[in-house]
Amino acid sequence: MQELSQKHLLGIKDLTADDIHLIFETADSFKEVINRPIKKVPSLRDITIANVFFENSTRTKLSFELAEKRLSADIINFSSSNSSVKKGETLLDTVNNILAMKVDMVVMRHASPGAPHFLSKHIDANIVNAGDGTHEHPTQALLDTFSIREKLGDVQGKKVLIVGDILHSRVALSNIFALQKLGAEVKVCGPKTLLPKYIETLGVQVELDLKKALNWCDVANVLRIQLERQQIKYFPSLREYSLFYGVNKALLDGLDKEIVVMHPGPINRGVELNSDVADSDHAIILDQVENGVAIRMAVLYLLAGKGAG
Partner 1 sequence: MKILIKNATIVDDNSTWHLQVVDVLLENGKIKKIDKKLSKTGTTIDGTNCYLSIGWYDMRALFGEPGLEYKETLDTGLEAAKAGGFTGISLFPNTEPVLQTKNDIAFVKNQTSRALTEVHPIAAVTKDCKGEDFSEMNDLKKAGAVAFSDGYKTIEHEDILMRTLMYLQKFDGILIHKPENKRLNMFGQMHEGPVSTSLGMKGLPAMAETITVLRDLELLKYAGGNLHLTAMSSADSIDLIRKAKKAGLGVTCDVSSYQTSFVDQDLTGFETNLKVSPPFREKKDKKAIIKGLKDGTIDVLTSGHVPHDEESKNLEFDLADAGIIGLQTVASNVVELMQDVGIEKLIAALTSNPRNILKLDIPTIEVGSEVNLTLLDPLEKWELNAGTNKSASKNSPYWNKTIQGKVKFVARKQQYYID
Give residues in contact with partner 1 (CB under 8 A).
13, 83, 85, 90-92, 110, 112-115, 117-118, 132-136, 170, 173, 196-199, 201-202, 231-232
- Cα distances (Å, whole numbers) of residue 265 to 125, 144, 156: 29, 12, 25
Question: In the complex with partner 1, which residue's Cβ is closer, 73 or 142?
Answer: 142
Query: Residues near 287 by Cβ (< 8 Å), separated by ≥ 6?
Result: 147, 150, 151
Q: How far is the CB of 208 from partner 1 (least distance, A)?
A: 18
Amino acid occupying residue 133:
G
**How is the beta sheet containing 105-110 ordered, strand by strand?**
74-79, 48-53, 105-110, 126-132
Angle between helices 59-70 and 285-306 (to 10 degrees): 50
Helix (H, G, I), strand (E, B) or coil at 11: coil
Q: Which residue, 177 or 245, is less far from partner 1 as judged by CB?
A: 177
In angstroms, give the least distance from the CB of 240 to partner 1: 23
Nearer to partner 1, 114 or 265 (CB): 114
Tell the smallest beta-carbon distance from residue 201 to partner 1 (Å): 4
Nearest to 210 by CA among 294, 144, 277: 277
Minimum distance from residue 38 beta carbon to partner 1 (Å)? 40
Q: Which is nearer to partner 1, 196 or 270 (CB)?
A: 196
Closest approach, Cβ 90 to partner 1, in A, equals 6
The residue among 31 and 187 lying less far from partner 1, judged by its C-beta, is 187
